[in-house]
Each structure stands twice: as structure tokens, then as C-alpha cells.
Amino acid sequence: MPELKTSYLGLNLRNPLVASASPFSKKVEEAKALEDAGIACLVMHSLFEEQINHESRALDFFLNQGTESFAEALTYFPEQDHYDVGPEKYLKLVGELKNTLTIPVIASLNGVSNGGWVDYSRRMQEAGADALELNIYFLSTDLKVTAADLEKAQVELVQQICGSVSIPVAVKLNPFYTSLPNFASGLVNAGAKGLVFFNRFYQPDLDIETLEVVPNLKLSTSDEIQLPLRWVAILYGKLQADLALSSGVHSGKDAVKAVMAGGQVAMMTSALLHDGAGYAAIVLKEFEAWMSAHEYSSVDQMRGALSQKGVANPAAYERANYLQVLTSFDNRMK
């Protein structure tokens, strides 16, 4: 039997399959079902900065600048009473999950400003979280704000959070940075022990009958793995941090790809929401069967085999591949 054990953020995991932040953690019994199906680590749904500090700078920023031209869009920001999990309830839930589960529990904070809410990282640690994941979900709409300004503020935020806790901190990124490797390196220098590639931005749609901008949440498909695969493969072995792949892991073979690219772990949400917690067992079975069939004895042995450092043609991950891909399509049309 191949060895599935691995580690993430210094935590010992029985296998590399992690449940990424999702509503599963809102009910202890649903989280337990994930553990029973073989999931090795649970990332909780996020506690949002806006939930902690309703008057926070970030919320003002979003309300005043990000959405000013769409009065309807203000309805995306629910009133405090309508959030289903407030900070105290969240902290209590961390403790309940820790009491019930044997797998590590990672609490998740979602915010962008350096406000008082940052103290909650310490409170999550005190509540028993094994690690923290910080999701910096921010969309700049201001013509005057530069990428450098934003990146500096985000690195400072990570530094502040890493300085507040002794448990490891991972940062969940979005893919839209001009120089992702440089920014990733800044986050690691600021203290991040792990980087999660990627958070998905939920794109609003337009209802052309009601003339409204409508929120739109679709589950991912397996095709979406290609974007994080590329970045994990490029960054593998270049940073002093664990890389986690999130987006598009829907099968055991997808999890194999995540590890072969260089992922310390493969994270799943959409497939589990679609097929239920029990689906994790099927994914793990397929993962293990693939390892056996290809004579890999451990996950560590597989890791990074298809990273940019590991492949015979590293340019396949870069621009050089672009022309080749287009030419191969032209050839199909001949």
C-alpha cells in the first residue's frame, strides 16, 4: 500500500486531501462526515472582517467606492443581523469542531484592512485552531491605487497577523497579480507558512430583463484546475512555504495532478458540495489506486515530479508554449 501521509503547515496529515473553506464547517456533523470519508484536514468557512467590525475601513471602502454606481449592489452587503455566523459563534464553533474531530482544523479570516479585527487571529488560536488561513479577497476599482500600494498593504496585513499568533498562517490568493512570484515571495517573507492557489472570484452576472447586477455563484469544474496547476508548478521549490492547490480538484486524478505539480495538499469544495461528503472516499480510492498502478510508494515521492523544475521542458509552463499550442490547433484544421 502506498504511503499517503503528508504534512501541511507543519501539521501531520493522513493524506493530502483537504476540505477547503466551505459551508461544511458550519455544522459539526457535516464536518465529521468529511473526516469519516477520509478528508485529512478541514479549513473552516471564513469569518469576515465586516462581521467583526461593521464600521471597518474596508467595508466603507467597498460601500463608498467599489459599488457606488450600482445602488442595487449595496444589497450584497447584508446587515450584521443577517450574517448567519457572528464572531462569537464562530469562535465557539472552532472549539466544537476541535472537540469532535481528530483531524486538524484551520480557521479562516477574510479581510483586507489593518483594523482591530486582526486580533481575531489570536482569538481563533485561543479557541483551538491548529492554523489560520487568511483570504485576501479584494477587487480594486480605484484608478489612483497602484498595484504596489495594494501589495504593500496586503503584505503588511499578513505580517501583522503572523506577528499576533504562534500557529502557522497560510494565505489564500487570487490569481490576478501582475507578478505573482514576487508577491508570493513577499508574503512568505512576511511570515506565511503556506500559500493557497487560488481563491475564486465570484463574478456578478447581468439580468438584462430586470436590469440588475446579480450575484452569481457557480460550482467549479475540473477544467479550472489548469490555472492553479500552472502556478503551483512554477513556484514549487522556490519558496520556503507549503503550496496548496484549490480550484478544480474533482477527482483522484485531479488530486494526483495537484501533488505532481508540487502541491503539498489538494483542496476540494465544489465536488464535495455537489456529490456530498462521502465523495471524498471515492477520490482518495482513485488517488491511491493511481499511485499503486504507477508504482509510487509515497506522496512525497510524487510531489513536484511535474513541476517546472521536474519536467524535461520547463518552457512548457511559460510563454514559449503559447506559439506551440496555437500551431497545434492550426494543424488540426488542415
Ligand X SMILES: Cc1cc2nc3c(=O)[nH]c(=O)nc-3n(C[C@H](O)[C@H](O)[C@H](O)COP(=O)(O)O)c2cc1C
Joined together, the cell numbers standing for residue 137 give 479577497
Taking residue 175's Cβ as centre, other Cβ atoms within 10 Å add up to 15
Site string for ligand X, 28-47 (x = CB under 6 A): -----------------xx-
Between 276 and 313, CB nearer to ligand X: 276
Shortest Å distance, C-beta 82 to ligand X:
16
Member of 51, 113, 125, 135 binding ligand X (CB under 6 A):
135
Q: Which is nearer to ligand X, 189 or 222 (CB)?
A: 222
Q: Binders of ligand X: how many residues, by CB under 6 A?
A: 23
Q: Is 248 in the site for ligand X (CB under 6 A)?
A: yes
**Min dist. Cβ of residue 9 to ligand X (A):** 15
270 lies in the site for ligand X, by CB under 6 A? yes
* Interface with ligand X (CB under 6 A), residue from 268, 277, 280, 291: 268
Q: Please tell me whether the peptide bond between 329 and the residue prior to it is cis, using omega within 30 degrees of 0.
A: no
Least separation, in Å, of the C-beta of 325 and ligand X? 24
Region near ligand X per CB under 6 A, out of 28-36, 96-104, 218-226, 229-237? 218-226
Q: Does 257 bind ligand X (CB under 6 A)?
A: no
> Does residue 154 belong to the site contacting ligand X (CB under 6 A)?
no
Contact region with ligand X (CB under 6 A), list: 70-78, 231-239, 241-249, 304-312: 241-249
**Residue 220 binds ligand X (CB under 6 A):** yes
Cα dihedral 138/221/185/118 (nearest 10): 40
Q: Please select the residue that binds ligand X; options are 6, 15, 20, 56, rule is CB under 6 A.
A: 20
Task: Indicate whether 16 belongs to the interface with ligand X (CB under 6 A).
Answer: no
Q: Is 307 in the site for ligand X (CB under 6 A)?
A: no
Query: Which range, of 18-26, 187-195, 204-212, 280-288, touches ligand X by CB under 6 A?
Result: 18-26
Looking at 193, 200, 257, 303, which residue binds ligand X (CB under 6 A)? 200
Category of 276 on φ-ψ map: left (φ > 0), alpha (ψ -120 to 50) or beta: left
d(CA 199, CA 177): 13
Please report how close the Cβ of residue 48 comes to ligand X at its closest, in angstroms: 8
- Asked if 269 interacts with ligand X (CB under 6 A), we say yes
Give the interface with ligand X as residue ranges (CB under 6 A). 20-23, 45-46, 108, 110, 135, 172, 199-200, 219-220, 224, 246-249, 268-270, 273
